[in-house]
Amino acid sequence: MIRESIAIIERVRRIGAGWQQVSIAVEETALANIQPGQSLLVRTHNSWEPYLRSIWVPIDADPAQNLIEIERPDSETYLPDVDIHLLGPVGIPFSLQKSTKNLLLIAQDFPPTRLRFLLNVALRSQRAVTVVLTGEAKKYPVAAFPTETEIIYSDDTQTWPSQKETLLWADQVFVVAPIPFYELYFSQLQQVALEIRHALPENYLNAVYDLPMPCGTGACMACMVSSRQYTCLDGPAFDLAKMRF
C-alpha cells in the first residue's frame, strides 16, 4: 500500500560510466521489503522545480538494515545524510514463477535498471539468468552485474545472435524498452515469440513499462496502458500474451 515517508541518503557511489548507486535508509520495514518491479516517487528538494517526483527504481533491498539500493544517472548530485521524501511502493512486484529456472532479461535500447533487482533476486534463488542488451543499453556498465550473469549484446539491429534459441531456452522473459518506441519493440518481440511458441504461455513474455507517473495512485490516468490498466497500479510488467498493439 502506497505511503508517504522520509528516507535518508546513506551512501553514494559511482558504479560505472554514467551511473551511480544511492543507498537510502527508509523508516518503515514494510518499505524496505520492496520487491522487484516496484518503484518509489521521490522528491529530493523543497522547491517546486522540478515539479513532478522522480521515479526511483530499486536495484536491491536489505530489509534487515531498512536499506534500499537505487540506481541513478551520475548527472544528478546526491549527498549522504540528506533527507528525501518518498511515495511508495508504487506498482506490483514482478511475477517470477517458482517453476522458472531460466530467466531472460532484455534491455532493448534502454538501460536495464528496471530489471536489475529481479536479476539479483533470481540469482540468489539459484536461477540461470541471461541479460540481452541492445542499442543504447549496450553502453550500460555491465561490471555492475553479478559475475554469474550471462550477457549477450545485440548486433546493429534490435536482434541478437541466437535470438530464437534464447527465447526458447527461457522459462520467463522480461523486456524493457524506451518511450516512445516501446509498443514497437514489444510488438516485434511478441511476433518473434509467437513464431517459435505458436501460443504464448501465461506470464512467459512480460513487457515492463517505464511511463511517467505523476501520482502513483492511478488517479491521474497518465500511465494507462489500456482502458482498464495502469502502470502504477497494475504494472509495471504486463503479460504480452494479453496485450494487443
Partner 1 sequence: MIEITNNGKYALTLRNPVMIASGMMGFDPHLYRNLIKLEKLGAVITAGITYKPRKPANGPRVVPVTGGMLLHTGLPNSGINRVLAQYQNIWARSPIPVIPHIVANQPNDVARIAERLEGLPNVVAIELGLHDQAQAEDIQALIHAARQGSQLPLLVKLPLFNAIHLAEVAAEFGADALVIAGPPRGTERDPISGKLVGGRLYGTYLKAQTLRVVGFLAGYLQTPIIACGGIHSSTDARDYLEAGARAVQIDTLVWVNPAEVEVIARHIGGEELTRAIGALPDEWHPGLGKTQLMQRKKPASSQSTVPPPNLPELPLDRDDPTMPSPSQD
- Per-residue interface string for the shown chain with partner 1, residues 3-32, x marking contact by CB under 8 A: xxxxxx----------------x-xx----
Q: Which is nearer to partner 1, 89 or 104 (CB)?
A: 89
Q: Locate 213 and state its grid cell.
A: 507517473
Written as nine digits, the cell of 139 is 553502453
In the list 13, 49, 75, 198, the residue contacting partner 1 (rule: CB under 8 A) is 49
SS3 labels along 158-226? CCCCCHHHHHHHCCEEEEECCCCCHHHHHHHHHHHHHHHHCCCCCCCEEEECCCCCCCCCCCCCCCECC
Among 62, 124, 219, 245, binds partner 1 (CB under 8 A): 219
**Which of 1, 64, 143, 199 contacts partner 1 by CB under 8 A?**
1
Considering only the stretches 101-109, 110-118, 166-174, 219-227, report the one whose residues sit in contact with partner 1 under the rule CB under 8 A.
Answer: 219-227
Q: Pairing between strand 205-208 and 172-176?
A: parallel
How many positions of this chain bind partner 1 (CB under 8 A)? 41
Q: Is 48 in the site for partner 1 (CB under 8 A)?
A: yes
Amino acid identity, position 198: H
Q: Name the one residue in this structure whose C-alpha cell is 545472435.
A: 161
Name the residue nearer to partner 1 (CB basis): 65 or 162.
65
